[in-house]
Structure 1
Amino acid sequence: MAFGKGHHLHLIDGSAFIFRAYHALPPLTRKSDGLPVGAVSGFCNMLLRYIEENTGPDAPTHAAVIFDKGSHTFRNDLYDKYKGNRPEMPEDLRPQIPLTREATRAFNVACEEMEGFEADDIIATLARQAREAGGRVTIISSDKDLMQLVGGGVEMLDAMKNLRIDAEGVEAKFGVGPDRVIDVQALAGDSVDNVPGAPGIGLKTAALLINEYGDLETLLERAGEIKQPKRRQTLIDNADQIRLSKRLVTLDCDTPLTFTLDDLEVRDPDPETLLKFLTEMEFRTITKRVSERMGVAPPAVPEPAAPETVADDIPFDPEAYEVVRDAEALSVWIDRIMERGWVALDTETTGLDDMRVDLVGISLAVELGRACYIPLRHKAADRDDLFGSDALAEGQMDPDTCIAMLKPVFEDPSILKIGQNMKYDAKVLARQGIDVAPIDDTMLISYAQHAGLHGHGMDTLSERYLDHTPIPIKPLLGTGKSAITFDRVPIEKAAPYAAEDADITLRLWHSLKPNLHRAKVTTVYETMERPLVPVLSAMERAGIKVDRDTLSRMSAAFAQKMAGLEAEIHELAGESFNVGSPKQLGEILFDKMGLEGGKKGKTGAYATGADVLEDLATEHDLPARVLDWRQLSKLKSTYTDALQDHINPDTGRVHTSYMIAGAATGRLASTDPNLQNIPIRSEEGRRIRQAFVAEEGKVLLALDYSQIELRILAHIAGIDALKEAFRDGQDIHAATASEMFGVPLDQMTPDVRRQAKAINFGVIYGISGFGLARNLRIPRAEAQGFIDRYFERFPGIKDYMADTTAFAKEHGFVQTLFGRKIHTPEISASGPRAGFAKRAAINAPIQGTAADVIRRAMIRMPDAIADLPATMLLQVHDELLFEVEEGAVDAVTERVREIMEGAAMPAVDLTVPLTVDAGSGANWSEAH
């Protein structure tokens, strides 16, 4: 029977139910795997109570729970700051959201949501349709935004207060009837949803104005008649903003629904379906209550052991590992994967360079203790040849068949792929035409929880959390000149090793994943670790073009300049010696020349590290020239020579690899080759960047944050003078010098500014008077005086340092503004380690927050520039480098700058603006 007169529709605001449930109950986790389920439990209880209370003659004939789907709606297209101030979802609530949908369906209540529209729009459309069909509507919510719908057979019910809201109730709240609610909201704005409204006009004033002039448009047309000057000018100046606000608060009553009112007919729950869901959630009380209500025997809710115990109880047994050699055997494993919904995987390759290696085999694990290895390209053994023949060994699966079978599984969005350092495996499989997603990474799960405590490699994690030492790789591959690649390892030896890797990965996932929410770092992992993997993978595969001829010319020039420096050094020393020998250099400096400060180490040789030479350089030219020689030697060996070997012969580009879990603070590390440590302050370092070039018809575009760590320090420490200087766009180092030394900005000298700059950056890293004296080459007492004066002028910084150190000692970690934990295990140590640990703890929240900001920007970037001819190539600390078509530089710059400058939002509302500098050119040096 079609919905019509006499029918009663209940529309439940799903988000309101969820958040009330979440905040009303203490945290609750599912015992079997540690999954947070407190909000789900509360939601189920609320839904059951709703069903129990709505019986009898006034019971609804139709009902639905309406949810929001995603955060982007048409309102964000109208106003990009809409709901921009809302905090991110609590980390332990995020995984519960899809479970509330499952719960609704388990209770056999219609569950609806639509991409691009808010739940309120769906409710508004259903209410209009029901009203026009002659039925009644009750909206179960207390959301003020829905009050514009009240009237004409539509009312609201605040289920928590059991309070019905009709037209009179709306007028009591807004001062106007439901038909004028949107006019009042448009004027007053909404700080929660970031609706701008009219500055300085609140609900009461808005209601007075609307009641006086009748409606919003009349008010704006007659704004010039208003007697109060300030209010009159506000309405005139902000008319367009007010009209935009009205569009934002007006609900869409014509949402293109994909279902009808008839689909929402009330249905009784199916006992088997509902009890199965409640049992899986391990809700004992409500399971018993529902069973009694339905008159069925309550199912047993098991008391499972924690995953850690399960993993410990199942021994590692290589005999339980299978070698999959054909399509029939692989089909069995694929069926297991589809049934389970997840799979741990690992790839075996011929080396470590994921852009050049060959795929040798794939291992899979679905259950603890059971895994398989699929050999694909192992070479046949040949007794006459140490390295074997090129013929493939027998008993392997055809690689093309294997890839074809696994591709739909590895790309299936409903199947979770679990890996250890998943970026490597994803890149290897991408070269086979497989886009692996979605993924979980045990290395990053550990990193989110344990940064600063230990490494996150598989062997370390296995020994620490599984009490198991994995099968070592060295006995299989050998060492030195006799070492072989994995494709030369016999299958019978390779299989246990490879399959165990997948088994260990699955065990680690079961053990570590549930602890994310207990450590309160679920949001860190889900928003800044896991989504970064595909972003970095794409960047690494893209690589950057390097001009080999330019590098060769630079190497020759560096060699020539080094020879000149050697001659100068020999002349200053009065004899020839090996400048690259620390032993010979020490003898020259301290024995022959008699310079002070010589200290011998355990080997009996003098220490001649950079710190020693930098101190000596203030007294003599020879150590200064040695420092210059070493710098050139490092640039030549590390970059101009080595980079030529890193040019990929297939792409003609250099493909660096980023370590996500390298630095405890969240900073990325570039390796093989390291492109982050090319010095940019020296002329030679800048010349090396000239070798990084754009393809023909394109340019390189560099955007980097301006003094981001100082800005974060100003925010965290609450330094008003620095915050004001940043907001006003002042030269921060000149402003600091003016504040410290009392020098007016228009009388600032370069020397005074340089001193302030050294202090600004030095303080972030906990610099001492001795360190500052070395940097500025001034007496230590004078340098300490500068630092003391700095703390006097900016006392908030000293308070921040003291508070951060105390927090670290009490909790054993510090945090970034985004919740990243950096553990400080040696903060209470004695001796030199204590000083280092203290400085690291003070710096970590600042450097870590900066790292988090650029991670967030990088994660958002692919979607942001998807419609532009641009590719993100490199990340170097606070800088992002893109390759862009020549005619699109301005458009890409604008888009990227917007993303970077807004990357902290909505999680953190910085009180200091982030600014981004941009430059472009044919090579990296020109762009930066």
Structure 2
Amino acid sequence: MAAKSKSAKRLYLVDGSGYIFRAYFALGRSGALTRSDGTPVGAVLGFCNMLNKLLTDMQDEHDPTHLAVIFDHSGKSFRNEIYPDYKGNRPEAPEDLIPQFPLVRDATRAFNVPCIELEGYEADDIIATYAKQTEKEGGEVVIISSDKDLMQLVSDRVSMFDPIKNKKIGREEVIEKFGLGPEHVVDIQSLAGDSTDNVPGVPGIGVKTAAQLIEEYGDLDALLNRAEEIKQKKRRENLIEFAEQARVSKKLVELCTTAPLEEPVDALSMRAIDLDLLLPFLKEMEFDKLIERVKREVGGAEGGDPADAPAPFSADKAEYETVFDEKALKSWIDEAAARGAVAVDTETDSLNAMQANLVGVSLSTRAGRACYIPLGHGKPDGDGGLFDGEASGDEDAGRQLPLEKALKLLKPMLEDESILKIGQNLKYDVLVLLRYGVNIAPFDDTMLMSYALDCGKGGHGMDELAKRHLDYDTIKFSDLAGTGKKAKTFDQIAIKEAATYAAEDADITFRLWEILKPRLAAEGKATVYETLERPLAPVIVAMEREGVKVDKAVLSRLSADFTQRMAASEAEAHELAGEEFNLGSPKQISEILFGKLGLPGGKKTAKGAWSTKADVLEQLAAEGHPLPQVLLQWRGLSKLKSTYTDALPEEIDPETGRVHTSYAMAATTTGRLASTDPNLQNIPIRSEDGRKIRTAFIHEKGNVLISADYSQIELRLVAHIADLKSMKQAFADGIDIHAMTASEMFNVPVEGMDPMIRRRAKAINFGIIYGISAFGLANQLGISRSEAKDYIDAYFKKFPGIRQYMDDTIASAKEQGFVETIFGRRTYVGGINDKNPAMRGYSERQAINAPIQGAAADVIRRAMIRMPAALKKARLNAKMLLHVHDELIFECPKDEAAKTCDIVADVMIGAPVPAVDLSVPLIVDARAGKNWDEAH
């Protein structure tokens, strides 16, 4: 690649620091790939592949004269002297990445490319200085980066190029990003700030608002000098109060174009790859495949290694193989080991991971290449184990590898720490394979990546992700198995049909990983994924496997009691109605209530029928009508009976004798886990009958159950997030927060307070933070709407910080389209700018709720992740069984109960640290008991 002689320079500047992190996170915490001496080199390999591709592309498609890779210096920059907290929020680099930093610089020099860094300056400053010098001399500059901070340099002669998206960034793209051209980027960033670099900016002003202000006033100085002209009160006050902060921010975001460069531009001339320089380095790193590819490319062969080229999705072009023998399976295992990453998917005969039998395994080592290993199709013959193809109707069934033999070959690869396993909802596959003695590790999960990146944008199942990211409609299971009572299980599907379906699953999973993994670092969500999502999966697996013991006898007695009381309620309802009717029929109930009895306040559904929903019956009951109250009692008992006392015994696993709920990790928009099959999170605890259900959850002999519950965690987080000084002080002093609220609002002393007044304050406290309306509060408290409105108005008057938080959150959501928790979890809020008031109102309430409920979910996730290690360190035998909202349930030996309660509480209280320094104390109640209700 010798440089061509020409009068004008064409300088390519590579953002080397950006390349390093993209290489690291794009390969699934690439530190999992190590040299034989144990040195992590995954990021080095990724960097070399990216640099080699760039050099090849430039040679084929461009005509550069000069090239350099620019790195950040390891020390602080001059910006830290201006603002000591600059980049103070950034976490430390991953431990396995740190030793790779010098190796990446060695790699750059091995490719015969200048490697530039400068003490006291950032890579962006060096890039800016080279760019301005070259531009001044009449040359052209292409910056290889997508970093928004570099967009201020874009001009007629300076452009950027995003190598991941293969996209040029010019003036139009900058305008699309910031709303104005490159010449205004610094002023916009000075106002909007940057949480990633801890650039303060001006509170309440985002990029969109900043662009509008700069467009109107011309530049930052003019805006700040004329800030008193701003009509919006809060914006005007912030611009005046934080004017100096904005000016400091400008000094932080404006790139230095006069850095004292040690190498002039002329020293960066393009140089040919020198194999005598490059190959020894690649051999030292043990990058055998890259060595072969470089030899071919430098030797003149056209194209690169197809094994490393990203392939557009096409089912017709995909290489899918069905594996029937050991030799073929070993070949796939070797390929996975060589590549260091493999997508894995299991096929089973049940959705219940605790009872599912393994039918097959699929693997993919790169986009477009996958295999299926059938292991359990067809019907077993009489002597156990082998399959009779003729009897099953599947001619391939008899060719399957024996299950034990296949797993013996697969197990070392699936457990190999140097090979990253990639899955979609891999928790299920881990649970299935654990039953066969195989423990998958390490792993990445595309479902959890999508959840960290795009929560609120739609579902995170494979079919939806394939359509969203690949514009591809997957083969549906129902296409093979059918639907309804005649639907087949996977072991009944012919291998020829099953193989394509299963291989496609692994192939698409690998493709999704290639798309989603780089986005985590690029969009600042790697920390969320690495600290809140991925490490939680093994914890959930252990909980689901452990299950919880349920006493059938208790449930049976409760069922009988509920049946008897339902019969009494039914007789009372018939007497009140003056005739017999079906209490389970909404149509008959509506005819009685609104037809025969003519009760007021009925609401019709969209189909014209009278609504008999709970809120309608509750309103009628509050007005003193006895029949609706009896109907509500009957419904409550009926639901408890059908959902729990009758159903739970059927959920007991015949092998373990325990109930094993499944936790959906990406089902909510707030980070909360959802319990399914059975759902143990919806057992009502406010009613006496609901609490009776909890008495059926018991321990093994010699053990106890422990319930550890956060006290008012969401209110505490509101006090912290909204900076409510009186509420924070109350929590710090251990004052009853609801009594304090009642005292503040209603001017009554805390001592001797009427419990009804405290109840109203409690309803307001919890209702307000979720955007409750006057109508909703009126229904909840049984008061008039006008009285409820007065309560809400009084609340905002006493606690103006709540209103400010709500207004600011909604404004931010409208501008950005998302909200975030204090831990960085992002939730996109669709409909926040909808013209439909109902839709917009719903989205606004969601925007208010998500950062609070999401932060509470993040806290308990962090606690759950840390819990196993803490218990092990304390040499305790406790097992975490259940997660229910803000509560964790454990089982432990009776003589370890007191110490376990202490350790559990300590871990839960300390969960936010060090990510967030809460300004309010967390309180955890941890108690032991013979059943769940007693412990709670």
| TM-score normalised over the length of structure 2 | 0.69
CA apart distance, 1:306 = 14
CA apart distance, 1:40 = 8.7
- Aligned ranges for residues 224-235 of structure 1 at < 5 Å? none
The aligned counterpart of 2:935 is 927
Instruction: Please tell me whether residue 869 in structure 1 is matched to residue 877 in structure 2.
Output: yes
Selected match of 1:706 from 706, 711, 714: 711
Q: Which amino acid aligns with 2:279?
A: E
- Aligned ranges for residues 174-323 of structure 1 at < 5 Å? 271-274=278-281, 310-312=310-312, 314-317=313-316, 320-323=319-322
User: 1: CA distance between counterparts of 2:716 and 2:806?
Assistant: 16
Selected match of 2:429 from 425, 432, 435: 425
- The structure-2 alpha-carbon separation of the partners of 1:598 and 1:299, relative to structure 1 and needing over 3 Å to count, comes to farther
User: 1: CA distance between counterparts of 2:307 and 2:724?
Assistant: 47
CA apart distance, 1:698 = 0.1
CA apart distance, 1:781 = 1.1
User: 2: CA distance between counterparts of 1:430 and 1:906?
Assistant: 33
The aligned counterpart of 1:695 is 700
User: 2: CA distance between counterparts of 1:502 and 1:634?
Assistant: 41
User: 1: CA distance between counterparts of 2:704 and 2:814?
Assistant: 49
Q: Which amino acid aligns with 2:887?
A: E
The aligned counterpart of 1:97 is 98
Question: How far does the alpha carbon of each residue in 1:603-623 deviate from its partner, in whole angstroms, 9 at most, with x for none?
Answer: 332111112112111121211
The aligned counterpart of 1:743 is 748
The aligned counterpart of 1:466 is 470
User: 1: CA distance between counterparts of 2:890 and 2:534?
Assistant: 22
Selected match of 1:413 from 413, 417, 423: 417
Where 2:449 maps in the other structure, the secondary structure is: helix
The aligned counterpart of 2:334 is 335
Contact 2:421 2:443 in 1 (8 A): yes
Selected match of 1:583 from 587, 598, 601: 587
The aligned counterpart of 1:607 is 611
Instruction: Please tell me whether residue 573 in structure 1 is matched to residue 574 in structure 2.
Output: no
The aligned counterpart of 1:851 is 857
- The structure-2 alpha-carbon separation of the partners of 1:514 and 1:106, relative to structure 1 and needing over 3 Å to count, comes to closer
Question: How far does the alpha carbon of each residue in 1:623-656 deviate from its partner, in whole angstroms, 9 at most, with x for none?
Answer: 1221121111111111111111100011000000
Contact 1:91 1:521 in 2 (8 A): no
Question: How far does the alpha carbon of each residue in 1:824-846 deviate from its partner, in whole angstroms, 9 at most, with x for none?
Answer: 01111122111111111101100
Question: How far does the alpha carbon of each residue in 1:291-342 deviate from its partner, in whole angstroms, 9 at most, with x for none?
Answer: xxxxxx9999999999999342x42238721111121111100110110001
Instruction: Please tell me whether residue 902 in structure 1 is matched to residue 910 in structure 2.
Output: yes
Instruction: Please tell me whether residue 913 in structure 1 is matched to residue 913 in structure 2.
Output: no
- The structure-2 alpha-carbon separation of the partners of 1:93 and 1:843, relative to structure 1 and needing over 3 Å to count, comes to same
User: 2: CA distance between counterparts of 1:422 and 1:319?
Assistant: 23
The aligned counterpart of 2:893 is 885
User: 1: CA distance between counterparts of 2:818 and 2:557?
Assistant: 48
CA apart distance, 1:747 = 3.4
Selected match of 2:456 from 442, 452, 461: 452
- The structure-2 alpha-carbon separation of the partners of 1:492 and 1:812, relative to structure 1 and needing over 3 Å to count, comes to same
CA apart distance, 1:753 = 0.7
User: 2: CA distance between counterparts of 1:404 and 1:538?
Assistant: 23
User: 2: CA distance between counterparts of 1:912 and 1:798?
Assistant: 20
Query: Which deviates further from its counterpart, 471-480 or 26-35?
Result: 26-35
Contact 1:411 1:435 in 2 (8 A): yes
- Structure 2: which 5+ residue stretches go unaligned? 1-13, 31-41, 49-73, 75-86, 111-118, 121-275, 288-296, 382-386
CA apart distance, 1:910 = 0.3
- Aligned ranges for residues 744-893 of structure 1 at < 5 Å? 744-829=749-834, 830-866=836-872, 867-893=875-901
The aligned counterpart of 2:542 is 538
The aligned counterpart of 2:211 is none
User: 2: CA distance between counterparts of 1:722 and 1:906?
Assistant: 23
User: 2: CA distance between counterparts of 1:518 and 1:842?
Assistant: 27
User: 1: CA distance between counterparts of 2:673 and 2:470?
Assistant: 28
Where 1:437 maps in the other structure, the secondary structure is: coil
CA apart distance, 1:107 = 9.7
- The structure-2 alpha-carbon separation of the partners of 1:539 and 1:454, relative to structure 1 and needing over 3 Å to count, comes to same
CA apart distance, 1:484 = 1.6
The aligned counterpart of 2:195 is none
Where 1:685 maps in the other structure, the secondary structure is: helix
User: 2: CA distance between counterparts of 1:665 and 1:890?
Assistant: 33
Question: How far does the alpha carbon of each residue in 1:742-762 deviate from its partner, in whole angstroms, 9 at most, with x for none?
Answer: 212213221111111010011
Question: How far does the alpha carbon of each residue in 1:524-580 deviate from its partner, in whole angstroms, 9 at most, with x for none?
Answer: 001000111100000000000011111111111111111111111112212111111
Q: Which amino acid aligns with 2:377?
A: H
- The structure-2 alpha-carbon separation of the partners of 1:26 and 1:546, relative to structure 1 and needing over 3 Å to count, comes to closer
Contact 2:378 2:389 in 1 (8 A): no
- The structure-2 alpha-carbon separation of the partners of 1:91 and 1:716, relative to structure 1 and needing over 3 Å to count, comes to same
Contact 2:25 2:521 in 1 (8 A): no
User: 2: CA distance between counterparts of 1:690 and 1:277?
Assistant: 63
The aligned counterpart of 1:654 is 659
Q: Which amino acid aligns with 1:886?
A: K
- The structure-2 alpha-carbon separation of the partners of 1:102 and 1:398, relative to structure 1 and needing over 3 Å to count, comes to farther
User: 2: CA distance between counterparts of 1:616 and 1:622?
Assistant: 9
Contact 2:590 2:612 in 1 (8 A): yes
Instruction: Please tell me whether residue 561 in structure 1 is matched to residue 565 in structure 2.
Output: yes
Contact 1:598 1:607 in 2 (8 A): yes
CA apart distance, 1:599 = 2.8
Contact 1:91 1:520 in 2 (8 A): no
Contact 1:31 1:304 in 2 (8 A): no
CA apart distance, 1:512 = 1.2
Q: Which amino acid aligns with 1:841?
A: A
- The structure-2 alpha-carbon separation of the partners of 1:683 and 1:101, relative to structure 1 and needing over 3 Å to count, comes to farther
Q: Which amino acid aligns with 1:590?
A: F
Query: Which deviates further from its counterpart, 566-575 or 300-309?
Result: 300-309
Give the number of aligned pairs: 694
Contact 2:453 2:525 in 1 (8 A): yes
Contact 2:589 2:612 in 1 (8 A): yes
CA apart distance, 1:104 = 7.6
Contact 1:91 1:522 in 2 (8 A): no
Q: Which amino acid aligns with 1:731?
A: D
CA apart distance, 1:695 = 0.3
CA apart distance, 1:789 = 0.5
Q: Which amino acid aligns with 1:576?
A: E
CA apart distance, 1:493 = 1.1
User: 2: CA distance between counterparts of 1:901 and 1:715?
Assistant: 15
User: 1: CA distance between counterparts of 2:718 and 2:301?
Assistant: 51
Contact 1:380 1:392 in 2 (8 A): no
User: 2: CA distance between counterparts of 1:757 and 1:721?
Assistant: 16
The aligned counterpart of 2:631 is 626
The aligned counterpart of 1:516 is 520
Contact 1:546 1:692 in 2 (8 A): yes
Contact 1:32 1:307 in 2 (8 A): no
Identity of aligned residues (%): 55
CA-atom RMSD in angstroms: 3.7
Q: Which amino acid aligns with 2:799?
A: F
Where 2:373 maps in the other structure, the secondary structure is: strand
- The structure-2 alpha-carbon separation of the partners of 1:362 and 1:87, relative to structure 1 and needing over 3 Å to count, comes to farther
User: 2: CA distance between counterparts of 1:513 and 1:768?
Assistant: 41
